[in-house]
Amino acid sequence: MFNKQDERYWNIHLLNKWFAITSLLFIISMVWMFIDDNDDDFKVYQKTFRKMEVETTKRKLEKAILEVKDEQSIYLAKLENAESVLVSKTEQIKQIESKLTDLESQRYKANMDYLHKKAEIDALKYLVEKEKSHIHELPKEKDSKYELKYNTYLEELNTLKRKKENIEFLHNNTKIELEQMKADVKQAKSDYSNVMRDVDLVEAKLNKLDRKKMSFSNRIGDIIRDLPIIDFMDPYYKVKQIVVPDVKYDVNFASVSTVDRCTSCHLGIDNPDYIDAEQPFKTHPNLELFLTSASAHPLEEFGCTGCHAGRSRGTTFYSAVHMPNSAESKYDWEEEYDWEKMHHWLKPMLPTKYTESSCFKCHMDKPDISGGDKLNLGLAIIDKAGCNGCHQIESYPKRYNTGPDLSRISEKVSKEWAKKWIHNPQSFRYNTWMPHFFNQENNNSHEMTQRNTTEINAIVEFLFKSDKQMNRLSDKKYIGDADNGENLFNSLGCRGCHNVLEDASELTTLNIDLDKLPYEYSVSEYGYEKSETNLLELTKQQGPNLIGMGSKTSAEWIYKWIRNPQEFWPDTRMPNMRLTHQEAKDITSYLLSFTNKDFEEEKFSDLNIDELENIARGWLVKAFPEEKAELMLSEMNLTEKLDYVADKSIRYYGCFSCHNIQGYESAKPIGTALTSEGSKPVAKLDFGHIHDIEHLNYSWFEQKLAKPRIFDRHKIVAPEDKLRMPNFYLKPNEIEAVVTAILSFNDDKVGEKKMARYYQEDQSVYEGYKILNQYNCKGCHVIDGFGGQIADLIGAPEFSPPNLNTEGEKVKPSWLFKFLKEPTLIRPNLQVRMPSFSLTDDEWNSVIAAFQDLDHNNLVFESDYHVDKKSVKYKAGEKLQELGVCSNCHFYGTTFPKQGAETWAPNLALSKERLRPEWLVKWLNDPQAVMPGTKMPAPYIPSQEELEMEDSRSTWGNSLITLRGDRQAMLEGLRDYNYSIPGKIDISREIKKYFEEHGYDFGGDEDEDDWDDEDW
Amino acid sequence: MDSLKNAIDILSAPTISFTLITVLFPFVFPPGDWFEKIHRKLGFWRIWTKPGLYISLVLITLFFIMGYYDPNFNITLTKPDNFPIILLVYSVVICTWLSMYKAYENDKRMDQGEKPAEYNDPDDKVLVWPDLVYIEFIALIVFMVFLIVWSVLVAAPLEEPANPAATPNPSKAPWYFLGLQEMLVYYDPWLAGVIFPGLIIVGLMAIPYMTTTSDNLSGFYSFKERRVGIFLFMYGFLILWIFLIFIGTFFRGPNWNFFGPFEYWDPHKLVPLTNVNLSEYFWVKWLKTGLPSNILLRESIGFISVIIYLGVLPVLLAKFVLNDFLNKVGPIKFSFFVFFGLSMLSLPLKMYLRWMFNLKYIIAIPEWFFNI
């Protein structure tokens, strides 16, 4: 067309070439685009996993075949046998079959005739009815027309029906005949397939998985379904997702259901077959609690990111925002996956060390979340260290003052002691929970030390205003026998909450490579306890480690305090041990025998008036114009200045967060609210000039806890504005636990039905559980399988305070309430004492509700159980107790047991009032099952054979024989007898008298407190 | 290397870089004979030769390579959002060079009495098919290939869902608006976001119609014949648009603070913000009294300044400086020219007032949302 070359400015051949080249490039880029689009990571993983699955299924198939091999051959032989029998009858069968076909066609025809006739009759019926309803309009002779026809048709129909039914009958019979002939084969077949069921299932799965096992057309189909573009229909390799409507992701202007695509790559996550597989195919480590449909958290209902966080829709390693646990795994990931933190996702995945923090959003109400040990520890430390005193945490509020009441501090310690203590608590008690405010990174300069010394002086002057000052002049009056005091201290139960560990060998430096920690760490110069901190360890630290008391306080104070702690601190968690005058004196002497000479020798600088003025001026200038401030300062006398500085300092350091100080009862918490700290954007955390830690919220928290003042480094800050969070010298594992807890305080929203409390009818049980923790009940008792550390100190576990498992179904709530309000003696030979806690009725009710909740028994009122003393059961029970010699160990009212005090067991006269009848039968049936390790032997219950032996009547008596070995009835009889044992219920006075006369001569050394018949 | 980076950091501060470029600009695109002389003397004309292009491309590339290997510059340079800016730098340089190269070629020809190169085309015309459409089609395919490859290689830089409580720092507009965002530093949104962009576009388009010097000038590249027009256009486009985008992209960091390309974007960096309004200068600093309560009285000095700038200054210009030009183009073209010119000039003017005197607003009536 364009042959006139000169008309054109460009050479057409050149353009053609360019067109060809660019078109080629375009095609290449399109192909590249398709490949890129279809080359998702998850597809690669799914292909690998399919191979793994084929292998696993093949192995399973082999195993399944091997398992049924013997049976298979037997049943196969049977089947073949039956079939061969059938073959011999082939002729006969053929005949019957042809007959059946014939009958079938006849039946079909007869049925059709019948139905046609019936249809006509129905139509006629209508006409007849219509005719009848209009009868007055029609001539008379006409009216019989349809009716006549109708009647003849009815007769015909009956004939047809009979014919049809006859043929059907014949047909059925022939069919049954045929089936009977084939019955053996059918049975053999079904037996065989029963045997082979597992094999068949596995095989069917394998056939779907393994392309090699597919038919040709299926194989083609299997390839085609995953081709680009048409793979929207039913691909094999696809994004797998779980939609969880109850777990919302907040996109700021709306909340959307979580869509978890994690299983697109984590393909073996809920399949126990892949426990040893490589990631991402590995099985979840805790299938009992998670993912499987039998577990508490099925995959379909909870998904993945509700707990693990991360970008739920991400389908690559990067876009799911995986987060490494440590610097090493970070490095590995960078090498292997080109990993980097996705900067734009605000909720990156929790590194596995912090996953437990997610439990809290649904289980925030109940303490001690099962499976959440780290979180539980973190929450316990938050209570213990009083974090929630300074930092408001709505979902985990402060329940009590963790430090002692300071309103009568002057009677307890000297001013000098208080100053040294405030300045450096660990120098007095190396493992105290009182944190260090002073001599920290941002206040250890000379000027700051001077300032702090003055502040401490002012605070102490302020706290010690009372006339009553501690003195040791009257110590003699309160001194008893220290050795006996030690015995009492160890045996009465003090050690359920208190330690006395002063031996320096108990201390150890941290056995951790500090350089490997991802944060800067401040090591305490006073050492750490050897034991790793865990919940059980914390129950030993409920009260302070009572070392150095001789250097701290007076005998008078200790005496008065241990006799009635509430006199000094109405809200104290320390219970009243109901000590006698002498006991208190002995214990006082024991505690006073510990001194701390180093601490005594230290001197604390006196008040520096100039510095006091400086501090006062600093605070005044902050609040008032300078001239006014100067004027105010000049008008203050020394006491006023002291008071002013003390007030400012107490408010600055937040002393009132942990201690009751008069005048500060309603002071606001001083720290940042942590209610949604876990959701705080990283940009809102002040990293200051610290660049060596990761830019992540948990890295910041770790660093803050390890070195609370570090973010002031290199900053120029006025003394009044310096960071003041004190240093608790937490161990790295404690830091990890606390960070887990902090991360759990977040804004994540879950649906009401996902909240654990949704399934709890009585919310007061939560309060009960919290009280059990608050008062350290688990220091002495095992509750819900946890606690009772005092047993280790007392010796064998059976010599410790009772295990309270099944307490909720064991005792009557009314009795328990009475007992808790006013503990009475139950186990006569126990030296360890149930203390008196002063809780309100509300609180005790919650505690009882909690016990009942543990055993799923929530009735507060139950009908009284009446014993029929005339019944056979009762008489049988009487005989049983006689034969079982219960009276060897048990008290019957004031009747002492026949055996010595060592084996004494509870007063049986108490049973009816105390124990629930159902539980008692359960207990008598098998004490070991209810309370493993108890010394109570199971009462001997005769068997039917024994009762039917000769002479049985003389041995067992009439009533037992009448029961004919009915075990349940015999146990009930024993219970009934037990319930009707008369006598004094409270025999504490008698027992006390006995021990006053005889002493605890059994047992042996201090920490063996003999008692028997552990749990009732 | 570090001292070089330091030097670049210091030089790239807007006060210095903007001044340098503004001062050098008339010598690169000389609007008059005197500038032309120095332009020749300093050898700036060599930029518009082929070696000039190669050297400038090499220099730009070296700068980017240096940035790539710098830990701080690397972060901004490799952001997927900033990739278009890198392309922009190259394309602007190449296109500007191409037009100037052709213009200089033609100038040379005309100096020698020849016709411009465009006249050598066959019969002064090209066929739409196949010459134009075919080439456009090929270009289209090339561009498609480029877009596909780009989208395959670089993932779309999507961010987290927008959250009013957690805004990114710095919050940057899309790249094509970064020049406007830079203007917002100096002017109120209604000016910097509405009036100026409108005036700039209309003004730049109007330049050829206002600076015609000869009737026979269409259809070919030439610089000599249109020095003032090209100078103004280039200043408005290259400096007040492209350069501001470049600054906004690479040099504006957290809190919209200025950072040199090799500087660490420290969010803690503080720059004193002690800007003062003209009225405060006048009443408080000079007259040593408080601000009058009457708004109009308070801002009277600002109004007077603006009236002088837009009303009196053109008259003075017409009388003493540009009377030749006025005679040549007539009063209508002249007044448009001066209006657009002064509007354009007001941006650098305000920038300098800010840098030199910390001047915040000339007229500041926040009560009426009216600030200039």
* DSSP secondary structure string for all residues of B292-342: -SSHHHHTHHHHHHHHIIIIIHHHHIIIIISHHHHHHHHHHHHHHHHHHHH
Residue from A839, A840, A846, A843 nearest A575 by CA = A839
Q: pLDDT grade, residue B163 (50/70/90)?
A: confident
Helix (H) or strand (E) run with residue A508 in it:
strand A507-508
Length of chain B: 372
Quote the distance between the C-alpha of residue A302 and its chain's center. Answer: 16
Helices and strands: H and E segment counts in chain B: 17, 2
- Dihedral pair phi/psi, residue B173, rounded to 5°: -70, 165
Cα torsion B265, B266, B270, B271 to 10°: value is -20
- Helix, strand and coil in chain B, % to nearest 5: 70, 0, 25
B161–A252 CB contact, under 8 Å: yes
CA distance A13 to A2: 11
Query: Scanning the structure block, which residue is given the tokens 């114009």?
Result: A625
B30 DSSP 8-state letter:
-
* Cα distance between residue A694 and residue A327, in whole Å: 10
CA nearest to A899, candidates A890, A907, A908:
A890
Cβ neighbours of residue A406 under 8 Å, at least 6 residues apart?
A463, A655, A659, A660, A661
Residue A61 CB: number of other CB atoms within 10 A?
A: 18
Q: Which residues pair with A260 in a beta bridge?
A: A242
Helical residues (DSSP H) of A408-541, grouped into ranges: 409-412, 415-423, 446-463, 482-492, 535-540
Name the A residues in 324-363 with CB < 8 Å from any B CB.
344-346
DSSP E strand stretches across A792-860 = none
Q: For residue B170, say if its preceding peptide bond is cis, omega within 30 degrees of 0.
A: yes
The CA-based angle A92-A95-A100, given to 5 degrees, is: 125
Q: What is the pLDDT of residue A1002?
A: 56
Does B137 touch chain A if contact means CB atoms closer than 8 Å?
A: yes
Whether B167 and chain A come into contact, CB under 8 Å, resolves to: no
- Cβ distance A9 to B148 less than 8 Å, yes or no, reads no
The pLDDT value recorded for residue A1 is: 44
Q: What residues in B contact A8, CB-CB < 8 Å?
A: 127, 130-131
Residue bearing tokens 């109120």: B188
What are the tens digits of pLDDT across the range A569-586? Answer: 999 999 999 999 999 999
Q: Which of A4, A16, A19 to mutate to test the interface with B (most CBs of B within 10 A)?
A: A19
- The overall average pLDDT reported for chain B is 88
CA separation for the pair A831, A800 (Å, rounded): 9
CA atoms within 13 A on the CB side of A471: 5
Closest Cα to residue A402, out of A439, A366, A435?
A435
Which of B127, B142, B148 lies at the smallest CB-CB distance from A33?
Answer: B148
Rg of the Cα atoms in chain B: 24
Amino acid found at A745: F
> Contact A779/A787 with Cβ under 8 angstroms?
yes
Residue A284's pLDDT is 94
Whether the CB of B155 is below 8 Å from some CB of chain A: the reply is: no
Intra-chain end-to-end CA distance of chain B, in Å: 43
Q: Where are the beta strands (DSSP E) in A199-285?
A: 242-250, 255-260
Residue A915 phi, psi (nearest 5): -100, 150
Q: Looking at residue A986, what is its pLDDT? A: 86
- Tell me the longest C-alpha to C-alpha distance in chain A: 139
Identify the pLDDT of residue B302: 92
Query: What residue in B sits closest to A27 (Cα-Cα)?
Result: B145
Q: SS3 for A679?
A: helix
List A residues 233-262 in contact with B (Cβ-Cβ < 8 A): 251-253
3-state DSSP of A46-71: HHHHHHHHHHHHHHHHHHHHHHHHHH
Give dist(CA A816, CA A834) in Å, integer: 13
Which DSSP state fits B285? I
Chain A touched by B134 (CB under 8 Å): yes
Which residue of chain A has the CA closest to B268?
Answer: A688
B143 touches A: beta carbon within 8 Å:
no
For chain A, residues with pLDDT lower than 50 are 1-2, 1003-1016
Note the pLDDT tens digit of each residue in B312-325: 999 998 888 888 88
- Name the residue of chain A whose CA is nearest to B157's CA: A344
Q: Which position has the token pair 């081709």?
A: A227
- Chain A CB within 8 Å of residue B140 CB: no
In order of A317, A706, B9, B93, B229, the CA distances from B238 in angstroms are: 43, 54, 21, 10, 14
Q: Which of A5, A14, A22 to mutate to probe the B interface, most B CBs <10 Å?
A: A22
Helix (H) or strand (E) holding B315: helix B313-316
Give all strands (DSSP E) within A126-176, no chain letters. Answer: none
Q: Is the peptide bond before B130 cis (omega within 30 degrees of 0)?
A: yes
How far away is chain B from the Cα of A19, in angstroms, using its nearest Cα? Answer: 6
- Residue A414 CB contacts under 8 Å (≥ 6 apart), including other chains: A469, A470
How far is the alpha carbon of B99 from chain A, nearest alpha carbon, in Å?
A: 20
- Interface check B133 vs A, CB under 8 A: no
Q: What is the pLDDT of residue B125?
A: 66
Give residue-wise pLDDT tens across range B104-149: 998 898 888 888 877 766 555 677 877 889 999 999 999 999 999 9
Handedness of CA A525, A530, A533, A538 (dihedral sign): negative
CB pair distance less than 8 Å for B131 and A9 = yes
Q: Which of A6, A13, A15, A338 to mutate to test the interface with B (most CBs of B within 10 A)?
A: A15
Chain B residues whose beta carbon lies within 8 Å of the beta carbon of residue A19:
134, 137-138, 141
Yes or no, beta carbons of A29 and B121 under 8 Å apart = no
- Give the number of C-alpha atoms closer than 13 A to the C-alpha of residue B188, restricted to the C-beta side: 13
Closest-CA distance of chain A to residue B120, Å: 11
Residue A910 contacts residue A826 (beta carbons within 8 Å): yes
**Predicted pLDDT of residue A1003:** 47
Rounded CA-CA distance A256/A292 in Å is 25
Report the SS3 class of residue B233.
helix
Are A351 and A325 contacting, i.e. CB atoms less than 8 angstroms apart? yes
Provide the residue type at B201 as one letter. Answer: I
Q: Which pLDDT value is given to residue B215?
A: 59
pLDDT of B124: 57
Residue-level pLDDT at A930: 84
Nearest to A958 by CA among A886, A871, A884, A867: A871
A6 interfaces chain B, CB cutoff of 8 Å: yes
Q: Name, in order, each residue with C-beta under 8 angstroms of B112's C-beta and a sequence gap of 6 or more.
A: none
State how far the Cα of A899 lies from the Cα of A888, in Å rounded to an integer: 5
> Which stretches within A822-897 are classed as H helix?
841-854, 872-883
CB atoms within 10 A of CB A545: 20
pLDDT for A1008 equals 38
In a mutational test of the A interface, the residue from B145, B150, B266 whose CB has the highest number of chain A CBs within 10 Å is B145
DSSP B69: T
Burial class (CB in 10 A: 0-12, 13-18, 19+), A338: exposed
Structure tokens at A481: 């026998």
Phi and psi at A258, nearest 5°, equal -70, 135
Q: Which residues of chain A from 660 to 719 reach within 8 Å of chain B, CB to CB?
A: 681, 683-684, 689
Predicted local distance difference test score (pLDDT) of residue A133: 79
Query: A340: which chain B residues are within 8 Å (Cβ-Cβ)?
Result: none
- Give the A:B interface size as CB pairs under 8 Å: 72
How far apart CA B247 and CA B270 sit, in angstroms, is 19
A25 lies within 8 A of chain B by CB: yes
CA distances from A971 to A939, A941, B194 (A): 9, 8, 95
Q: Do B135 and A32 touch (CB under 8 A)?
A: no
pLDDT of residue A504: 59
Measured distance CA(A425)–CA(A659) in Å, rounded: 15
* A4 near B CB under 8 A: no
Model confidence over B325-371: pLDDT tens digits? 888 888 888 888 899 889 888 989 999 998 888 888 999 898 888 88
Considering only CA atoms, which of A552, A562, A548, A558 is closest in space to residue A594? A548
Backbone angles phi, psi at A244, to 5 degrees: -115, 95
